[in-house]
Chain A
């Protein structure tokens, strides 16, 4: 299995309340994926983040070449389409009933979401990334190799809209077009090239910052890149329990590019190993 995904609501909330979304599609040599994190203080954030992901995997499948100007134009068109779909859904949901004052104001303020979309040709190993806000893509080199004494900078590359400026006030996509004025400034685009044996991890903010906190111990990230869904879930739950991962909704997609027909990784062990390392670090005098 070369794609693993996990969508998990914050502990204490039902899965229906999860405002993160993800979609991916494998179509011949095309791999297209999207994750989004609806802002908890927006109205119908789950609807907005879901529409962003659904529309992206549908609309960007024809655009496999990295052409920044063209992609920016296409993204504007895509966002307009998503906003129209959002407004139509809200109209449908509220049809025939009187809105309370705060619902009217909330609908006027609209919804907000981070977003990251990946379009990839598995044949050429080339693709591109589009992102707004603090979703991240981690490119793990030699993900199949055993952990050694490696320089994290040589093994891991992190893509995001300026991940050095981590903030709890990210610029997000909005359903109210007036708030998207600065979007050209904040829309991050990048071409991506991978080699066999590498893995790509797309994640919304909580899990991303958890990974960033572990970049000095690349073995953990490599283990995570090899997890199956249940292993990944265990990593998230362990991280939350140990208070190393913020209790927030989580959306993760892992795409692995196997070097050779590889032995199915013992994913449970990988997850256990991650948990073990985290526990060991927690107990470390350092």
Chain B
């Protein structure tokens, strides 16, 4: 890939110039609904977050430890709006260097992972699967409050890191905002910027119909009858051109130039694939590194 000066969302993420990722986790009462046959929406949301953190940490792990390419915030909304990571030193903190998150999971489970066996088949191997967040579902859905909280955290951060890759906010929810229309709050976040572009807001929607999967749509046509999905689509950032080109190449799909950072019931790992901390390999992309 040739290097283009002047384009946005091109700054490499490094220890000297990290980026911030804020995960907004819907922990409202509606998340206790059943989802996908065996679990609940809240257990799915916790699983998504744990996988995303695991994936990010694996990408930062070098021989000298976990490098701080990312500052991570995990903000829950349900019974209030607050940081929700609880492992050791993590409690109550808005943004945490990723190395501290790596060293402080709540527990580590052993899980089976499917791998190619080298002769065309698949085999199962056991890997460590750390847990930072448990399923929780209480009270209402103060999504606007959560977006405001993220704005407050990131307003300071972009002032302190004007030359960094812009922060990304991931809102993981079933889509039912209980404290108003989130459009204004979302717009406020998306107006924050560094010299490399505006803050990105991506939404990961866990809907009641888990069989309907949509990834980076450029219109609401596939979920027009779901008002919550439409609302989340509307507040999602348009994917930067270079990122969508990269995702298209790695997934061998043609995404529209107007597609948005919105995922409905689909694998969310691709939302962090683009974070540029160095060349990703064909093999890493295809196997999703940790799943």
Contact = CB atoms under 8 A, between A and B. Distances in A.
A102 B281 contact: no
A221 to B, nearest CB: 15
A246 B279 CA distance: 12
Given A112-B284, A178-B118, A39 B278 contact: yes
A177 interface: yes
A40 B128 contact: no
Contact of B279 (A102, A104, A170): A170
A41 B284 contact: yes
A209 B58 contact: no
Contacts of B284: 39, 41, 109, 112
Interface in B276-291: 277-285, 287, 289-290
Given A44-B63, A102-B61, A243 B3 contact: yes
Nearest to A208: B2
B160 interface: no
A63 to B, nearest CB: 26
B281 A177 contact: no
Prevailing SS type, chain B contact patch: mixed
Interface stretch (B19-27, B36-44, B102-110, B228-236): B102-110
Interface string B1-27: 111010000001010100000000000
Interface string A88-114: 000001000000111111101100100
Interface string A189-220: 00000000000000001100110110000000
Interface in B60-111: 61-63, 66, 102-103, 105, 108
A146 B84 CA distance: 67
A244 interface: yes
Contact of A167 (B118, B130, B249): B249
B62 A169 contact: no
A112 B63 CA distance: 14
A41 B62 CA distance: 8
Nearest to A178: B118
B146 interface: no
A178 B279 contact: no
Contacts of A154: none
A177 B118 contact: yes
Contacts of B16: 12
B57 interface: yes
Interface residues of B, number: 43
B246 interface: yes
B187 interface: no
Contacts of B105: 101
A15 interface: no
B1 A167 contact: yes
B289 A109 contact: yes
Contacts of B279: 37, 39-41, 168-170, 205
30 contacts: A37-B279, A39-B281, A40-B277, A41-B280, A41-B284, A42-B281, A43-B63, A44-B63, A100-B102, A102-B58, A104-B128, A105-B128, A109-B289, A112-B283, A167-B249, A168-B246, A168-B249, A168-B279, A168-B280, A169-B279, A169-B280, A170-B281, A170-B282, A171-B281, A174-B281, A179-B116, A181-B116, A181-B118, A244-B5, A247-B12
Interface of B: 1-3, 5, 12, 14, 16, 54, 57-59, 61-63, 66, 102-103, 105, 108, 115-118, 120, 125, 127-128, 130, 246, 249-250, 277-285, 287, 289-290
In the A-B complex, list the 10 residue pairs whose CB atoms are closest, starting with the nearest: A40-B278, A243-B5, A246-B3, A101-B128, A171-B282, A106-B61, A179-B283, A172-B281, A112-B281, A209-B2
Given A39-B279, A41-B284, 6 more contacts: A108-B127, A169-B279, A170-B281, A171-B283, A172-B281, A244-B5
